């Protein structure tokens, strides 16, 4: 067990999709820092089909063998009742739910012209609705305790888009909006929510990453950031971090200085076309942190 520098000893962490890859590494690291861990994994394939208990049970055994405390849960994050049962598992086994790491995910990659409604719905159900379900189930116990740490797992595909991943990218982008709104709502009750966009080898990426890259993007390089975001002393809230290959970086929304004209009369398409370069020039841009800052930036020239 590591020294409890981060206030994690005795805290209870629910990690979804923790039977392998990123989730497994998160669970093991939380366990090594003295947290009680609920290891959730449906045990299915990466496209969401199938189920089983072996994956979650194996990680629980690893945590216990290292001297930690852990229990397994085999529910699907996409089902409201299953998400509630995950949180109840934490409360029954350890008496609290302090940390939720929404990590569970599936892939159904196809070009948009070939994507079916089922491909869309299943990916949204696991990534976005699943994060809603699990966080919602934990929210009230966290509010009552005046303490909580939530991590949502986005992706570079959500931040920047990626061919063949309209469903996955849409879900991952939505998680950024969800996380930043939760950060605002939870702050008064000491519930912090942050978002990661990881680059890591997993079942979902093992056949698309070249062999020479795989050793550089081990999932264990991501977990230290996740654990730190859930530390009692970490005050960051509503932030997005890209993480992978030993690189850790906050992502911000940069608004270009742009072009502005007083809204006191008609504005023509010609005006937009003639000033298109200035509208797109990031020189002198500013970082925007909230809808209010965005609104004020739009209005400041109008007075």
* CA 39/CA 89 separation, integer angstroms: 10
Is 228 catalytic? The answer is no
- Cα angle value 225/180/15 (rounded, 5°): 45
State how far Cα 113 lies from the chain centre: 28
* CA 125/CA 211 separation, integer angstroms: 31
Long-range contacts of 85-90, Cβ-Cβ distance < 8 Å, separation of 24 or more: 86/14, 86/16, 86/38, 86/40, 86/134, 86/137, 87/14, 87/134, 87/137, 87/138, 87/141, 89/38, 90/12, 90/14, 90/36, 90/38, 90/138
User: Cβ distance 2 to 32 under 8 Å?
Assistant: yes
Pairing between strand 240-244 and 247-251?
antiparallel
Of the residues 74, 147, 160, 168, only one is catalytic, namely 168
Which residues participate in catalysis according to the annotation?
168
């Amino acid at each position: 067990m590591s020294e409890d520098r981060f206030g994690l000893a005795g805290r209870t962490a629910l990690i979804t999709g923790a039977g392998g890859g990123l989730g497994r590494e998160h669970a093991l690291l939380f366990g090594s820092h003295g947290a009680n861990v609920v290891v959730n994994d449906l045990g299915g394939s990466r496209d969401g089909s199938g189920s089983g208990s072996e994956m979650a049970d194996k990680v629980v055994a690893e945590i216990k063998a290292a001297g930690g405390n852990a229990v397994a849960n085999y529910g699907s994050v996409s089902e409201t009742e299953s998400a509630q049962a995950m949180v109840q598992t934490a409360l029954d086994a350890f008496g609290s739910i302090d940390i939720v790491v929404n990590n569970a995910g599936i892939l159904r990659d196809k070009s948009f012209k070939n994507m079916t409604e089922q491909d869309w719905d299943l990916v949204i159900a696991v990534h976005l609705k699943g994060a809603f379900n699990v966080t919602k189930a934990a929210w009230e116990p966290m509010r009552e305790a005046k303490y909580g740490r939530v991590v949502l797992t986005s992706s570079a595909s959500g931040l920047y888009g990626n061919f063949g991943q309209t469903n996955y990218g849409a879900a991952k982008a939505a998680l950024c909006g969800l996380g930043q709104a939760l950060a605002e709502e939870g702050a008064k009750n000491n519930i912090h929510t942050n978002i990661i966009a990881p680059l890591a080898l997993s079942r979902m990426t093992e056949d698309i990453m070249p062999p020479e890259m795989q050793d550089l993007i081990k999932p264990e390089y991501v977990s230290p950031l996740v654990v730190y975001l859930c530390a009692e002393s970490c005050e960051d809230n509503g932030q997005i971090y890209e993480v992978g290959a030993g690189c850790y970086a906050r992502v911000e929304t940069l608004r270009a200085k742009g072009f502005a004209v007083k809204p006191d009369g008609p504005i023509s398409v010609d005006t937009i076309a003639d000033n298109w370069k200035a509208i797109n020039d990031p020189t002198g841009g500013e970082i925007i942190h909230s809808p209010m800052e965005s609104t004020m930036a739009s209005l400041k020239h109008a007075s």
